[in-house]
Amino acid sequence: MQSRNKILDDMSQLMTNAMGVAQGARTEAETAMKSLLDRWLADRDFVTREEFDAVRAMAQKAREENAALLARIEALEAAKK
């Protein structure tokens, strides 16, 4: 019975070590993928959310100003006739 417990203990230790190695490999793979993704995103000229929102607000203001100017032009042309 003593030798059987030794075999089970060895198998248990082997499985524990294997799980530790697998966990380490998983962590290393996640780190490598994150690094690769960060590098890929940095190489692209993506804008930040704040920059996007600022440009969007400027475009909205420009559209409103264009609409107001168009209304003034139409009013002036109508008065001219």
Residue-wise pLDDT for 16-67, tens only, equals 989 989 999 999 999 999 999 989 988 888 888 999 999 999 999 999 999 9
- Pair 62, 29 in one domain: no
Do 40 and 51 sit in the same domain of this protein? no
- Are 27 and 54 members of one domain? no
Q: What's phi and psi for 46, nearest 5 deg?
A: -75, 145
Considering its fold, how many domains does the chain have in total? 2
Query: Any idea of the CA torsion for 63, 64, 68, 69, to the nearest 10 degrees?
Result: -30
Residues 19 and 53 in one domain: no
Same domain membership, residue 21 and residue 2? yes
9 or 69, higher pLDDT: 69
Do 81 and 61 fall into the same domain?
A: yes
Residue 15: domain span: 1-45
Closest alpha carbon to 31 in 46, 18, 23? 23
With 50 as the cut, is the pLDDT of residue 1 above it? no
Q: Do residues 53 and 17 share a domain?
A: no
pLDDT at 6: 87
